[in-house]
Amino acid sequence: MRQIVLDTETTGLETSQDHRIIEIGCVELVNRKLTGKHYHQYINPQRKVDEGAMQVHGITDEFLEDKPLFENIVDEFLAFVGDAELVIHNAPFDVGFINHELSKLAKYPKSIAGLCSIIDTLAVARNKHPGQRNNLDALCKRYAVDNSQRDLHGALLDAEILADVYLIMTGGQVNLNINDQSSVDKGSSGTTSGIRRLSADRKPLKVIKASDSELSSHQQKLDTIKDASGQCVWQDLTQ
């Protein structure tokens, strides 16, 4: 399955005020693995960037002056997303802006949903974590995804971060394949085709016993648990 994790930056918040896309960032997943392929493009919106929006992403009017128009990059963009499934955080926002850009052009579909199916990771997060903050920064903290380089919003960086969050939030790898030897150990369906047995005469594993200080610290921790809850199951089992 091919998926495209997508993010945009815009001149403002409302397409009703004819705000436009100024940056598109996409990263490709195939069978829930990052392929290293990406699409990244800045776009001249032919209008001013709102001050509030510029404070979010840091993209200035001067920077965008020599960038191509959406109509000049639309074919390349649509070819990249193809018939993939789009993974977008707060999808109605980005999809709304993509559709707004498409609506200005003849001979193109008026909705990206006609070409691609769409997953809204914000809706997924709200379903998994109701009543909690579910913006991208909050999800990075919840799932221990490094977003330390995200001082400002950027479409490609945010798409890369969202890809990590999405994979963890929806279950990580589909299957356990440590060596990625798909042609050796797996059939075309991705299921294990055989069990690799260890040699019976292999060397035994080295057993490292806990030191006296480690045992003492462990016992103190168990005592703390018992004092706090009135019971420590581990102590009950070992007594």
| CA 153 – CA 160 distance, rounded (Å) | 12
Contacts 24+ apart (CB under 8 A), 73-80: 73/41, 73/43, 74/101, 74/102, 74/105, 74/108, 76/39, 76/41, 77/24, 77/39, 77/41, 78/108, 78/115, 80/4, 80/26, 80/39
Q: How many of the other CB atoms lie within 10 Å of CB of 71?
A: 13
Q: Are 111 and 99 in contact (CB under 8 A)?
A: yes
Residues 6+ apart with CB under 8 A from 233: none
Rg (CA), the chain: 25
40 as an active site residue: the answer is: no
Q: Out of 19, 40, 153, 218, pick the active-site residue.
A: 153
> C-alpha dihedral over 179, 181, 182, 185, to 10 degrees?
-100
Measure the N-to-C terminal CA separation of the chain; round to a whole number of Å.
53
Alpha-carbon dihedral of residues 47, 48, 52, 53, nearest 10 degrees? 50
What letter would DSSP give residue 103? H
Supply the residues annotated as catalytic: 153
